[in-house]
Amino acid sequence: MNSSNSSLNALVKDQSKNLIEIHNLKKIYQLGKTTVEALRGVDFSVAEGEFTVVLGPSGSGKTTLLNIIGCLDRASSGSYLLDGEDVSNRDFNDLAEVRNYKIGFIFQNFNLIPVLNVIENIEFPCLVRKEQESRAQLRERVRALCAEVGLERFMKHKPDELSGGQRQRVAIARALITQPRLVLADEPTANLDSNTSDQILELMQRLNRDHATTFLFATHDPRVMDLARRTVRIKDGMVVAN
Amino acid sequence: MSPLFSMSFRNLTRNRRRTLLALGAVVVGLCALTLLRGFVNAVRQAQLAATLYGTTGMLQIHHKGYVKNVLSNPLDLAFEDSLQLRKTILSTAHVLALSPRLQFSGSLSATEPLSSNPQELANSEPKTTFLSANAVDPELDRKVMPQLYEWVIAGQVFTNASDSAFVVHRDIAGPLGIDDISQNLAQPKEQWPVLLAPDKEGALSGDALQISGLLGSAVPTDKRLALAPLKTIQRLLKMENQITEYVVRLDDVVHAEIVQTELTSRLGDKFEVSRWDELAPFIKDLLSNVDKIFGYITAVFLLVIMLGIVNSMFMNVMERVREIGTMMALGIRRGYILSLFVLEGAFLGALGALLGLSVGVLIVFVASRIGIRIPAPGSTIKFVLHPFVTQKFLFDSFVFTTCGAAFVSLWPAFRASRLRPVEALSAV
């Protein structure tokens, strides 16, 4: 209870600090002779600890925006500051390090590594780091996270032995094990039934509260919108409501 | 510790059918290579043994100039078989035994028609055939050229150097009407064929000698070959205690060059020491060509195996594009992706090589125990081949296949590592 309160206090204290700051961000794709403007000058910021949802119809540019925020893609122009650092011109390996240390991903299709079991999937992002904590310490944290997301009984299971909800729980644990500043979730409930979706959303909300981790969603799911403290609406590559 | 190794290995179990197919190609290829190498080794060994223990010996010591003039008149360059010389040779390191020999040419004539068939008797005329013979002390010669004595296909070899018997190639015996050697042994001395041979001065000397045994062909060129008792021939040619060569056996043929140098220095200018490969260069070339041909075949086999692996690895990459994207999203560097697929290829190669070589070695072992009877080209003797492979071959094959598989996997692995995370993640 105490830890929950202190997290909330920290959240309130740092509310003014922006984790993500985007100015006039543009993304242009060249498809043969056609030029497609996926983002047309987006200005956008997310404060630390926020639980934000990016809304928009298909083709509106929300996935492109999330990819750029997740350092998976580069903008054609504009600036992007993540945790105060300009990451728009970093090379591949630098961006890999940024992703590994600062960003956690939750995908619509869970994207677990099939040959690794639950524990191995969760600890994987930590094992590819240059500087690693001790294996025992890491395993301890993995076990704690498994308990937190309700996977204690499935730690040795392979992804194909789990249900969709369980797989998404593994993906959430994997996103959080690196203690990232930001968790990006692209349609995290799209492949889940309503009950499981509710459980997953509740879990993410709890984690946001307990860990003070910033969550940014791209979704169509109205239940996610209901939970969001902030909604950013995007249309035709521009932010139309914030 | 990074799960790179375990992930690479486990990835092989994902598409089992494809892995099994790729593995099958490596196993069959390596197994076939092992069998071929085993067979080639056995042929080489048999050919080399025939040369070293039946044809030239490991080293031969002659009077200076003998090898160049052997076709003119070898007896001119005979030398004395002295105890001192023998001691000098035998005291040299790596020398096991020596055999003094006197090489001579002559003709063999049947004085009486030897056949008992009345029809043949009526049509027969005295018959003569030419031969190129080695006069030997059988006791010493057996120690140096043991294989030669295994080529006696009928009858037996004379037991001492003073006997009045000799062994001829069956192609020499045929024209003389000798088909059944046991019948021939029972014939009285008057019916023995006469050996006529020119001595040093060119004067012909002759004596009746019994044909006690018949030789088969080990190589196509030895059909005029005969073995005669050394002392009997020395007496006939008026060359008491004279020989044309010592044939030397070493503990191992690999020491031939060292011993040649040592003996050349110890024996002085009067003598020349020749190695087997100088006396029979065509055998050396033949063995070297066999190795070259095996090398080409190996290269083709390995190329096919590597193509199989690279194809399988490309399929693996194509199948796992989204997974590669996921790993990149989790912060993996390009080098890690590259290593993952290279290791996967290496594991495939190593596993295939291990299985293929094991099966190959097992078959080679069984074939070696049974022995493969096969005639050499132009030979009437059937060699019994015992296939074998060396540890070096197994080690080299394993390392080459593993490293080769890793190397060819670099191509698909590089393609995988260059994927853009955002595109890889959106792959279907």
- Sorted by where each starts, the structural domains of chain A and their CATH numbers stand as 2-241 (3.40.50.300)
Continuous H helices in chain A: 2-13, 62-69, 92-102, 118-127, 135-149, 164-177, 194-211, 222-227
Residues B61, B47 share a domain: no
Is the Cα dihedral A113, A118, A119, A123 positive or negative?
positive
Contact state of A120 with B3 under an 8 Å Cβ cutoff:
yes
- Mean pLDDT taken over chain A: 86
> Of the candidates B7, B327, B422, which has its C-beta nearest A67's C-beta?
B422
Closest chain A C-alpha to B413 CA, distance in angstroms? 17
Contact state of A111 with B7 under an 8 Å Cβ cutoff:
no
Domain final position from B224, B250, B279: B279
Residues B297, B241 share a domain: no
Residue B23, domain extent = 4-51+284-425
| First-residue to last-residue Cα distance in chain B | 31
Domain final position from B245, B279, B313: B279
Residues B249, B111 share a domain: yes
Which of A62, A90, A124 is most worth mutating to test chain B (most B CB atoms within 10 A of its CB)? A124
Q: Which of A128-132, A138-142, B299-303, B310-314 has the lowest mean pLDDT?
A: A128-132
Nearest-Å Rg of the Cα atoms of chain B is 32
Residues B217, B69 share a domain: yes
CA distance A59 to A40: 13
pLDDT of residue B330: 94
pLDDT of residue B111: 63
Contact state of B329 with A174 under an 8 Å Cβ cutoff:
no
Name the strand (E) or helix (H) holding A30: strand A18-31
Residues of A in contact with B3 (CB under 8 A): 116, 120, 124, 127
Is this complex scored with an ipTM above 0.90?
no
Residues of A in contact with B341 (CB under 8 A): none
Residues B327, B312 share a domain: yes
Residues B75, B182 share a domain: yes
Residues B303, B236 share a domain: no
Residue A26: count of CB within 10 angstroms of its CB: 15
| Number of domains, chain B | 2
- pLDDT > 70: what percent of chain A? 93
Cβ-contact B194, B207 below 8 angstroms: yes
Q: Which of A8-22, A109-123, B153-167, B397-411 has the lowest mean pLDDT?
A: A8-22
DSSP at A8 = H
Residues of B in contact with A120 (CB under 8 A): 3
Residues B213, B290 share a domain: no
**In Å, how far are B316, B346, B392, B406 from B306, measured between CA atoms?**
15, 11, 21, 9
Contact state of B421 with A73 under an 8 Å Cβ cutoff:
yes
Chain B CA closest to residue A100? B331
Residues B162, B221 share a domain: yes
- pLDDT tens per residue, range A210-235: 888 899 988 877 777 777 888 899 98
Instruction: Give Cα B147 distance to the centre of its chain.
Output: 13
Structure tokens at B424: 């890889």
Residue A12: count of CB within 10 angstroms of its CB: 10
Residue B379: count of CB within 10 angstroms of its CB: 17
Instruction: Give me the tens of pLDDT residue by residue for chain B, a chain 428 residues long.
Output: 568 888 999 998 888 898 999 999 999 999 999 999 999 999 888 888 888 998 899 999 999 988 887 666 678 889 999 999 999 999 999 999 999 999 988 888 876 555 566 666 556 566 778 888 899 999 999 999 998 888 888 888 888 887 888 888 888 777 777 777 777 777 777 778 888 888 877 788 888 888 888 888 766 556 778 899 999 999 999 899 999 999 999 999 999 999 999 999 999 999 999 999 999 888 888 888 888 999 999 999 899 999 999 999 999 999 999 999 999 999 999 999 999 999 999 999 999 999 999 999 999 999 999 998 877 666 667 778 899 999 999 999 999 999 999 999 999 999 999 999 999 998 77
Contact state of A125 with B2 under an 8 Å Cβ cutoff:
no
Q: Is B323 on the interface with A (CB under 8 A)?
A: yes
CA distance A209 to A139: 23
> Of the candidates A93, A100, A135, which has its C-beta nearest B330's C-beta?
A100
Residues B147, B271 share a domain: yes
Higher-confidence position of B127 and A186: A186
Residues B11, B83 share a domain: no
Contact state of B323 with A93 under an 8 Å Cβ cutoff:
no
pLDDT of residue A1: 38
A173 pLDDT more than 70: yes
Domain final position from B234, B255, B279: B279
User: Which residues of A have a CB under 8 Å from any CB of B?
Assistant: 67, 70, 72-73, 92-93, 96-101, 105, 107, 109, 111-116, 120, 124-125, 127-129, 135, 174, 178
Residues of A in contact with B337 (CB under 8 A): none
Residues B193, B291 share a domain: no
Q: Which of A141-145, A155-159, B160-164 has the lowest mean pLDDT?
A: B160-164
pTM here is 0.78
pLDDT of residue A14: 47
